[in-house]
């Protein structure tokens, strides 16, 4: 996925009210950008970090900038825009870049299921069991090389695991896909000390037959794409 408008570098000043971040552009101007991430964003909001913003001149938008990436001192990147997550997975599904899901001929996003929920993607094919795919964005790392989810307690995420478990019990296929928007991680694990309830639901789901996939992202200031699978 390439950005139609070139991103511009800035320095992070502070994030506040979850959706706002103040940044200093290279010309010294301080601007407020939209932060499309309601999570804890542990390690990504430190003052002084180099960030990349997408400018826009849309009169219908309140802010003229959107925060897309963090660039760390070691040259690695982290994507903070959760709105990109499903777009990246959708792009990869239609392009058949996720081998285990490539045989499915029909891809439907945001389909109602469970209890007042919507599955991120429902994949169907006449020759295959229906496949329910839930996607989670991952930006947390607390130890070199490890990507972790969740970064805070997530009752919603736990609910999704139990709903996927129920789909398997009904004879369907279910997959939890963790999309790691970091370039400095080469493996994935559940952060069981952060949310023990999620960890327990994960274990139950896995033992029932819910499949787990973790994919890394390749990130540059010009584009972002799903790259390789990560061991779980």
d(CA 54, CA 67) in angstroms, rounded, equals 6
- pLDDT at position 222 is 94
Render pLDDT for 85-140 as a digit per residue (tens, 0 to 9).
999 999 999 999 999 999 999 999 999 998 889 999 999 999 999 999 999 999 99
User: Rounded to 5, what percent of the chain is helix, strand, coil?
Assistant: 20, 45, 35
pLDDT band at 73 (very low <50, low <70, confident <90, very high): very high
Quote the pTM value: 0.94
- Residue 106 CB coordination number (10 Å): 10
- Residue 24 CB coordination number (10 Å): 15
d(CA 143, CA 147) in angstroms, rounded, equals 8
- pLDDT at position 39 is 87
| Contact between 124 and 92 (Cβ < 8 Å) | no
Within a 13 Å sphere around the CA of 104, how many CA atoms are in the beta-carbon half? 23
Mean pLDDT of 155-184: 97
d(CA 86, CA 138) in angstroms, rounded, equals 12
Looking at every residue in the chain, the average pLDDT score rounds to 96
- pLDDT at position 166 is 97
Look at residue 152 and tell me whether its pLDDT is greater than 90.
yes
20 — alpha (psi -120 to 50), left (phi > 0) or beta?
beta
Domains of the chain: 8-79 (2.40.50.580), 83-229 (3.40.1350.60)
Render pLDDT for 186-211 as a digit per residue (tens, 0 to 9).
999 999 999 999 999 999 999 999 99
d(CA 76, CA 93) in angstroms, rounded, equals 26
- pLDDT at position 184 is 96
| Contact between 8 and 52 (Cβ < 8 Å) | yes
Look at residue 20 and tell me whether its pLDDT is greater than 90.
yes
Mean pLDDT of 22-45: 95
At 85 the three-state DSSP class reads helix
d(CA 125, CA 105) in angstroms, rounded, equals 6
d(CA 135, CA 160) in angstroms, rounded, equals 10
């Amino acid at each position: 996925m390439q950005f139609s408008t070139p991103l511009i570098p800035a320095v992070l000043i502070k994030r506040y009210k979850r959706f706002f971040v103040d940044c200093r552009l290279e010309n010294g101007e301080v601007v407020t950008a939209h932060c499309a991430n309601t999570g804890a964003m542990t390690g990504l909001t430190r003052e002084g970090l180099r960030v990349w913003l997408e400018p826009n001149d849309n009169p219908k938008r309140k802010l003229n900038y959107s925060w897309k990436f963090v660039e760390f001192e070691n040259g690695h990147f982290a994507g903070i825009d959760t709105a990109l997550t499903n777009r990246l997975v959708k792009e990869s599904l239609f392009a058949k870049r996720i081998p285990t899901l490539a045989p499915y001929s029909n891809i439907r996003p945001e389909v109602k299921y469970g209890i007042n929920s919507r599955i991120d993607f429902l994949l169907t094919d006449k020759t295959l069991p229906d496949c329910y795919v839930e996607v989670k964005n991952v930006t947390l790392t607390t130890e070199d090389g490890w990507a972790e989810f969740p970064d805070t307690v997530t009752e919603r995420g736990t609910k999704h695991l139990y709903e996927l478990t129920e789909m398997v019990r009904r004879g369907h296929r279910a997959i939890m896909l963790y999309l790691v928007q970091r370039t400095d991680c080469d493996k994935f694990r559940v952060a069981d000390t952060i949310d023990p309830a999620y960890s327990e639901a994960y274990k139950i789901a896995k033992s029932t037959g819910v499949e787990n996939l973790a994919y890394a992202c390749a990130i540059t200031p010009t584009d972002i794409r799903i790259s390789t699978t990560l061991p779980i």
